[in-house]
Amino acid sequence: MLALGKLLELTLAGHEPAAKIQLTPEGTRLRWLAEGAVEVTPAAGRDNGMDLMLSAGIHGNETAPIELLDHLLRGIARSELQPRARILFLFGNPEAMRRGERYIEQDINRLFNGRHDEHTGPEALRACDLEHLAATFFSQPERSRLHYDLHTAIRGSKIEQFALYPYQEGRPRSQRELARLNAAGIEAVLLHNKSSVTFSAYTYSQLGAEAFTLELGKARPFGQNQQVNLQRLEVQLQRLIEGHDEDESGELGELKLFAVSREVIKHSDAFQLHLPADVENFSELPQGYLLAEDLASTRWVVDEPGARIIFPNPKVKNGLRAGILVVPAEDVNLA
């Protein structure tokens, strides 16, 4: 197998390959770009015009999607997969991956869309590098652009596998991309209603890609992901890589769509979140429920029918989001 197919092995060891470009016997090219970054170019005459960016390890302890990308890249390097798309494989936070930690100093997925300019430290530098890698990869004109940023969650979830769809004013949501997510086993999609500072929000709003953050189960250490079933997602990614998904019907099936109702922002150390520590994502909350309090006059009371909570985390730094209230989406603008 080509050495560049062992990107995960190289990344965890902190090694740089001697050969930066390698070819499979069929002519697929693998090119080392930077630590944790390999670009795959189809053999001559096979390119179907898609640019597909697959990232994982933005949080270093979310290992199931890292192992999935490793398996796909190894398949390409062994010629078991014959790409028709250009692909950029990215491991987002190599040092955090090596330590088995979520991050080193700060959450890298809150440092995109220029936010890294306001900070120092390894994650700020890496976020800047990732933006440059993505911008270069998505710079070729007249090509379709798709980015999946793969994650697992800190806690369990009533809906185990779901996606977050970034926002850009005036831009409709893609029915085709929602259908692709449905085919990949994604059960629900959260439609954001304002700009964000995540990696997928950057590629969506600044680079014109269709982009999604995928939450794929609960975070576990390397080698302990037997309970995270990514089989449908892996098959769909193989189809995208090999250009076999042109026959998708566009049907959304049982895919559930949610909209952000409110974000719960932690303003001070006095913040209290009135939920059990082990509450699961997408847990339903009754109307009238006192969700959170902060300082004397700030209270979050649930008044939305059908409200659910995702990403509750009272331990975030002051000024950051401590949870999101979501409701079933209505009147979604699809194209």
Question: What does the pLDDT read at residue 81?
Answer: 97
Question: Which CATH number fits the domain that encloses residue 282?
Answer: 2.40.50.630
Question: What does the pLDDT read at residue 246?
Answer: 66
Question: What does the pLDDT read at residue 7?
Answer: 97
Q: Pairing mode, if any, of strands 290-294 and 298-301?
A: antiparallel
**For residues 158 and 281, what is the distance between their CA atoms, to the nearest angstrom?**
6
In a domain, 252, yes or no: no
In a domain, 251, yes or no: no
Out of 34-43, 96-105, 240-249, pick the least confident: 240-249
In a domain, 319, yes or no: yes
Q: Cβ contacts of residue 141 below 8 Å, gap of 6+?
A: none
62 is in an annotated binding site: yes
Question: What does the pLDDT read at residue 122?
Answer: 92
Whether residue 319 sits in one domain with residue 225: no
Whether residue 157 sits in one domain with residue 18: yes
293 belongs to the catalytic site: no
In a domain, 255, yes or no: no
Out of 21-30, 199-208, 306-315, 325-334, pick the least confident: 325-334
Q: What is the pLDDT of residues 33-64, one digit of tens each?
A: 999 999 999 999 999 999 999 999 999 999 99
Q: Exposed (0-12), middle (13-18) or buried (19+): which is 29, by Cβ within 10 Å?
A: middle
In a domain, 254, yes or no: no
In a domain, 321, yes or no: yes
End residue of a domain, out of 208, 242, 276: 242
Q: Number of structural domains, the chain? A: 2
Whether residue 220 sits in one domain with residue 91: yes
* Sign of the torsion angle spanned by Cα atoms 19, 20, 23, 24: positive
Which of 224-233, 294-303, 306-315 has maximum average pLDDT? Answer: 306-315
Whether residue 296 sits in one domain with residue 168: no
With a cut of 60, say whether residue 247 has pLDDT above it: no
Whether residue 72 sits in one domain with residue 185: yes
What is the span of the domain harbouring residue 321?
261-328
59 is in an annotated binding site: yes
Question: What does the pLDDT read at residue 330?
Answer: 84
In a domain, 226, yes or no: yes
Alpha-carbon distance values, 43 to 28, 76, 192, 210 (Å): 4, 12, 38, 25
Question: What does the pLDDT read at residue 294?
Answer: 93
Q: What is the pLDDT of residues 131-180, one digit of tens each?
A: 999 999 999 999 999 999 999 988 889 999 999 999 999 999 999 999 99
Question: What does the pLDDT read at residue 298?
Answer: 87
Whether residue 318 sits in one domain with residue 271: yes
Whether residue 265 sits in one domain with residue 117: no
In a domain, 335, yes or no: no
Out of 77-86, 148-157, 232-241, pick the least confident: 148-157
Out of 244-248, 251-255, 307-311, pick the least confident: 244-248
Whether residue 277 sits in one domain with residue 214: no
Q: Pairing mode, if any, of strands 272-273 and 290-294?
A: antiparallel
Q: What is the mean pLDDT of residues 86-90?
A: 98
Whether residue 266 sits in one domain with residue 121: no
Whether residue 231 sits in one domain with residue 159: yes
Whether residue 132 sits in one domain with residue 13: yes
With a cut of 90, say whether residue 222 has pLDDT above it: no
With a cut of 70, say whether residue 248 has pLDDT above it: no
Whether residue 289 sits in one domain with residue 211: no
**In the structure encoding, which two tokens stand for residue 286, read together?**
């009754």
Q: What is the mean pLDDT of residues 208-222?
A: 90
Catalytic residue among 187, 210, 215, 280: 215
Tokens 């999946």 belong to 148
- 145, 209 Cβ separation under 8 angstroms: yes
What does R_g of the chain's alpha carbons equal in angstroms? 20
Question: Which CATH number fits the domain that encloses residue 120?
Answer: 3.40.630.10
142 is in an annotated binding site: no
Q: What is the mean pLDDT of residues 258-266?
A: 93
